[in-house]
Amino acid sequence: MIEQIKKDLKAQLENHFNIDEVVIEEPKKGRADLAIPLFAYAKLWKTSPMHIFEKFNEVIQTNEILEKIEFTNGFLNIYLKRDKIAQHILSAVHLEKEHYGDQNIGKDEVVAMDYSSPNIAKSFGVGHLRSTVIGNALKKIYTKLGYKMIAINHLGDWGTQFGKMIVAYEKWGNEKQVKKNPISELQKLYVRFHDAEKTEPELEQQARDVFRALEQNDEKYTQLWTWFKDESLREFMEMYDLLGVEFDYFTGESFYNDKMDAVVEALENKGLLKIDQGATIVDLGEDLPPALIKRTDGATLYMTRDIAALIYRHDTYHANHVLYVVGNEQILHFKQLQAVTDLMGYHLHVDHINFGLVLIDGKKMSTRGGKFKRLEVVIDQAIKEAKEAIEAKNPNLKNQMEVAKAVGIGAIIFNDLKNERHLDIDFNLENMLKFEGQTGPYLQYSSVRIASILRENTLDINLVDSTYFREDDYFELIKQLGQFPHIIFKAKESNSPNQIARYILSLAQSFNSFYGKQRINVEDVGHKNANLLFIESIRTVLNEGLRLLGIKVLDEM
């Protein structure tokens, strides 16, 4: 709302005086609501700031929100009718509830998003966790803004590694063991293959032959591969359930196997294919290395499948904009993908939502070897520690396990999203589970605090005395609430859930410092109801912010 007032003022002055970039500041607490520094114009027009003030003052149109305009120390100071603004914002939040901030800028435009996308028969990596968490938040943010999101899990379920896996399984595999611990058994087989390959180089050719046969739908291999895939998915689904993440499609790389010939043909017809040392490539000029379409042995590649997938998404879902939530290390790959489809004549937006590594004690966290075990183990640990903290704080709480899950997982999610995504993040369970500081539990706890006050006191909206909202402590926070719709928009524009994370953190901090100073349940009925409306609105926005990040909101903890 304040943004809009500033915009209107700016437009009035800029148009009338034919100047650009009028600066409108929001002074610190205790002063005017808005201020325009006049010295620069005085200098420009060789006159006094007072004179500029008079000229500006004539142009600024009064409206029901402007209280008064004053000249002080070279500034044009604007005082707003704070209670009007407050009423406007708070009644919007009160009426719209979780829909506050909904916007229809997407107008049902289809946006496909490819996220999480782990590789089957391998542990779910920390990179995939980041992709899952960031993607899930973006899906909710875009949806809130009226876009139609198609959530796709582009499973890594195709490629020569499956030839290796099948050869290894046929040599050393054991059905029972795989059934019991699918991913870790399959991963062991894969590692064993690599070790054996060193002394038996012929294994590599065997694996290629097997993958070629798989590509041609060999029955026996297809059966094995399907089994590996089903077992892996079963493990992944447990993780998604825990995280509360859902997809519309699990169309992995294998899904495009029968769509690859058409892609190669289309590239051929456009005259884009070249043979380079036996491999088939698309030359991308000086700035980018060529895109590899087929290997010497004719097998297709990650890139070929991505081209097929992008075209499929365009043809099937009518998505011209596809978000790929994938780590920084694939920046080049997505530039190539964009370049190839541009050359093919498509007008598609390949939007790589890149992100950094997960570090532990400053070192890269890897799922294999390394300090950290499997991701499920880490998540279980977070839940266990959250449970201990809750037991200590609130031993009589019901549903402790459910709350511990929400807190443990919320902590992991917030730890990820509070940072700008392209940066590396630190993974320290102890820090992220603290109830103070920049953590998920801190936010959940702030919401719970408000919930408990609201359980004990009922708001009567007709008894609210809005004059209290003129006070700085209230008004600052109300202005913050008024910014929420704009913050969501900014988060979408920059594909940064981080904007929302920062915003709700600051909102919770403001609330807690307000609550430290001001009693809610005061004698005066008008004041008390003003307080209740005020904190109810804070909770609504805080909760909606948490929901957009994929963090569960609690009533008690």
- Residues in contact with ligand ARG by CB under 6 A are 114, 117, 119, 154, 156, 306, 309, 324, 326
Tell me the closest approach of the beta carbon of residue 154 to ligand ARG, in angstroms: 4
Instruction: Enumerate the β-bridge partners of residue 239.
Output: none
Nearest CB to ligand ARG, comparing residues 122 and 418 = 122
Nearest CB to ligand ARG, comparing residues 31 and 335 = 335
Nearest CB to ligand ARG, comparing residues 313 and 527 = 313
Tell me the closest approach of the beta carbon of residue 406 to ligand ARG, in angstroms: 28
Residues 6+ apart with CB under 8 A from 46: none
Q: What is the 3-state secondary structure (H, E, C) of 460-491?
A: CHHHCCHHHHHCHHHHHHHHHHHHHHHHHHHH
Tell me the closest approach of the beta carbon of residue 405 to ligand ARG, in angstroms: 26
Tell me the closest approach of the beta carbon of residue 117 to ligand ARG, in angstroms: 4
Nearest CB to ligand ARG, comparing residues 253 and 385 = 253
DSSP 379: H
CB atoms within 10 A of CB 486: 17
523: its two tokens: 């004698």
DSSP 285: T
Nearest CB to ligand ARG, comparing residues 327 and 408 = 327
At which residue do the structure tokens 């498509």 appear?
Answer: 346
Nearest CB to ligand ARG, comparing residues 157 and 536 = 157
Nearest CB to ligand ARG, comparing residues 301 and 432 = 301
Nearest CB to ligand ARG, comparing residues 2 and 284 = 284
Tell me the closest approach of the beta carbon of residue 165 to ligand ARG, in angstroms: 15
Tell me the closest approach of the beta carbon of residue 63 to ligand ARG, in angstroms: 50
Nearest CB to ligand ARG, comparing residues 85 and 325 = 325
Tell me the closest approach of the beta carbon of residue 353 to ligand ARG, in angstroms: 11
By the 10 Å C-beta count (0-12 exposed, 13-18 middle, 19+ buried), 247 is classed as buried
Nearest CB to ligand ARG, comparing residues 306 and 536 = 306
The helix/strand/coil state of 401 is helix
- Exposure letters 120-152 (e unless 16+ CB within 10 A, then b): bbbbbbbbbbbbbbbbbbbbbbbbbbebbbbbb
Tell me the closest approach of the beta carbon of residue 426 to ligand ARG, in angstroms: 22
Residue nearest ligand ARG by beta-carbon distance: 156
Tell me the backbone φ, ψ of residue 174, rounded to 5 degrees. Answer: -140, 120
Tell me the closest approach of the beta carbon of residue 109 to ligand ARG, in angstroms: 20
Looking at beta carbons, which pairs linking 447-450 to residues 24 or more positions away fall under 8 Å? Answer: 447/508, 447/539, 447/542, 447/543, 447/546, 447/553, 447/554, 448/554, 448/555, 448/556, 448/557, 449/515, 450/511, 450/535, 450/536, 450/538, 450/539, 450/542
Question: Taking a C-beta distance cutoff of 8 angstroms, is the pair 168, 193 a contact?
Answer: yes
Tell me the closest approach of the beta carbon of residue 312 to ligand ARG, in angstroms: 11
Tell me the closest approach of the beta carbon of residue 155 to ligand ARG, in angstroms: 7
Between CA 80 and CA 553 the distance in angstroms is 35
Question: Taking a C-beta distance cutoff of 8 angstroms, is the pair 117, 318 a contact?
Answer: no
Nearest CB to ligand ARG, comparing residues 184 and 509 = 184
- Exposure letters 374-387 (e unless 16+ CB within 10 A, then b): bbeebbeebbebbb
Question: Taking a C-beta distance cutoff of 8 angstroms, is the pair 326, 354 a contact?
Answer: yes
DSSP 329: G
Nearest CB to ligand ARG, comparing residues 309 and 500 = 309
CA torsion angle 186 191 193 197 (round to 10): 170
Nearest CB to ligand ARG, comparing residues 119 and 336 = 119
Tell me the closest approach of the beta carbon of residue 309 to ligand ARG, in angstroms: 6
C-alpha separations of 206 from 166, 210, 213 in Å: 10, 6, 11
β pairing state of 349-353 and 358-360: unpaired
Question: Taking a C-beta distance cutoff of 8 angstroms, is the pair 74, 284 a contact?
Answer: no
Tell me the closest approach of the beta carbon of residue 402 to ligand ARG, in angstroms: 31
Closest to 115 in 3D by CA, of 146, 156, 143: 156
Tell me the closest approach of the beta carbon of residue 331 to ligand ARG, in angstroms: 12
Nearest CB to ligand ARG, comparing residues 308 and 500 = 308
